[in-house]
Amino acid sequence: MNLPRSLGELRSSQFSEERVSQRRVKDELRENLVAKLEQNTTIFPGIVGYDDTVVPQIVNAILSRHNFILLGLRGQAKSRILRALATLLDPELPYIAGCEIHDNPYAPICRRCREEVARLGDNTPIAYLIPEHRYVEKLATPDVTIADLIGDIDPIKAARGGHELSSELTVHYGLLPRANRGIFAINELPDLAGKIQVGLFNIMQEGDVQIKGYPIRLPLDVALVFSANPEDYTARGKIITPLKDRIGSEIRTHYPATVDEGIAITTQEAWMQRNGHRLEVPKYVREVIERIAFAAREDKKIDKRSGISQRLPISCMENVISNAERRAIKSGEEMVVPRVSDIYAALPAITGKLELEYEGEMKGADAVGRELIRTAVAKTFDQYFSGVNMQQVVQWFDLGGEIKLAESVSSKEVFNSLKNIQGLADKLEALGITNKVAVEAQVSAAEFVLEGLYAHKRIGRSEERVFTAGEKQPARRPEKSFDRDDPFPGGRGGGRRTYN
């Protein structure tokens, strides 16, 4: 690309003074967004499940030229969205070469550049920024200082150099000035000390700030975006009111609304395309993994305020595949087909993402994790087998049948013993599994059915993964009008209806 390299060349190019001198970052974001809207292209590729909720609100905020904040729990793609804003920036942005704060060639704010333009005129060298270099991100912590964020001043150096203290020449720029003419994102805004929030507000409002008591003029051009946990943000006193006032839009993010949306995100984010073995993750395994997060978000033993990150199903999926991969490598199988037992083996990828309440702490993270998997298996099982008669399979166990399905054992080894369970193979059709598909897939499906029956307590399973008969139900007493399997006594199956 032949981009102009001097101020003189710049004037007669597409980057004319008329076009560039007054164009601020928020104008640029807005213009490029409008172009995308006109072309009807995806605004944020790779952001799943926000098309009707979060994305339109972000679009409105940018069209309004607002600074905005994303409020949401952990793992709701907040950082990802903020980073995606860089895709709305121009491919190249001219600035005065060598300037630490990327001064506008037609309107420099730092003294160095003003002096350079005065000295060199149209020969002032020009450089360019690409969008990635115009996005600066900072995680707020209580120990972030004005020096980190805005800059520092060296009074001794200033005195020796004969500069006035308010001269920008003596400022060591912090992150925010270095993001000049770009996007500056602060994550977890409420963790920023009040004093720093005041500094931030002053920059946004007046373009000046005090450093060590000296007023410094810095009319920066920055699009400021933030993220925060909603409870922290709305807590009284966490955010100074004038700063809150200057944040134009508050946008709430959320977890995937459906299991399918969750699966789409996990499939996109998890590392699944591995070299070597052919991998086939059954749909029910994907669903179980996703439902673990859904179950955890509803579980009273888990802290609601910190949320259950979408990273839980993502890490879980990676670990599940690895466990299946390990089995395939050790037993010389060609195909990697994860099973429900691989999900239980992936507990280390689950427990770390749960913030437990007192009751959960008492039970222990592993027990809570296993319970979540069992709940997820039960719900997924119902999806495929609700109303399907499993009596034949259950009976096989009731008559003393036992089968060990260790997660480390090869599919071929267990395949024949699974065949002994009468009626089991027919049930697999509901999962799209016939005797024509790979043995690995058949074993995984059969195990899912047994795990489903175990999750519903219709059969038993030991620590050593031996499936057996379930605990005997107390004998039904004839005088009892209903049992817990029948929530509508006399109300179902027409013929048995009673009228009292």
Q: What span, in angstroms and rounded, lies between the C-alpha atoms of 81 and 90?
A: 18
- Shorter beta-carbon distance to Zn ion: residue 180 or 253: 180
Q: Which is nearer to Zn ion, 124 or 310 (CB)?
A: 124
The encoded tokens of residue 307 equal 């949320």
Task: Let me know: does 417 contact 403? Beta carbons within 8 Å.
Answer: yes
- As measured in angstroms, the least distance from the Cβ of 101 to Zn ion is 6
Which residues, 6+ apart, have CB-to-CB distance to 112 below 8 Å? Answer: 99, 168, 169
Looking at residue 344, the DSSP 8-state letter turns out to be H
249-252 and 214-217: which strand pairing? unpaired
Comparison of 110 and 285: residue with beta carbon closer to Zn ion: 110
The token duo for 200 is 């931030």
What is the smallest separation between the CB atom of 28 and Zn ion, expressed in angstroms? 19
Positive/negative CA dihedral, 339, 465, 288, 314: negative
Q: 104 vs 319, which CB is nearer to Zn ion?
A: 104
Do 17 and 11 touch, CB atoms closer than 8 A? yes
**Residue 228: count of CB within 10 angstroms of its CB:** 24
Instruction: Give least dist CB 191 to Zn ion, A.
Output: 31
Give me the phi and psi of 450, to 5 degrees please.
-65, -40
User: Residue 97's closest CA among 76, 118, 117?
Assistant: 117
- Residues forming contacts to Zn ion in the complex (CB under 5 A) are 99, 103, 110, 113
Comparison of 115 and 361: residue with beta carbon closer to Zn ion: 115
**Which of 24/244 has CB closer to Zn ion?**
24
Q: Do the strands 249-252 and 222-228 form a parallel or antiparallel pair, or are they unpaired?
A: unpaired
Distance of closest approach, residue 146 Cβ to Zn ion, in angstroms = 21
Query: Beta strand 93-96 with 126-129: parallel, antiparallel or unpaired?
Result: antiparallel
Shortest separation between residue 113's beta carbon and Zn ion, angstroms? 3
CB of 274 to Zn ion, least distance (A): 48
Tell me whether residue 99 or residue 185 sits nearer to Zn ion (CB atom).
99
**Least distance to Zn ion, CB of residue 157, Å:** 18
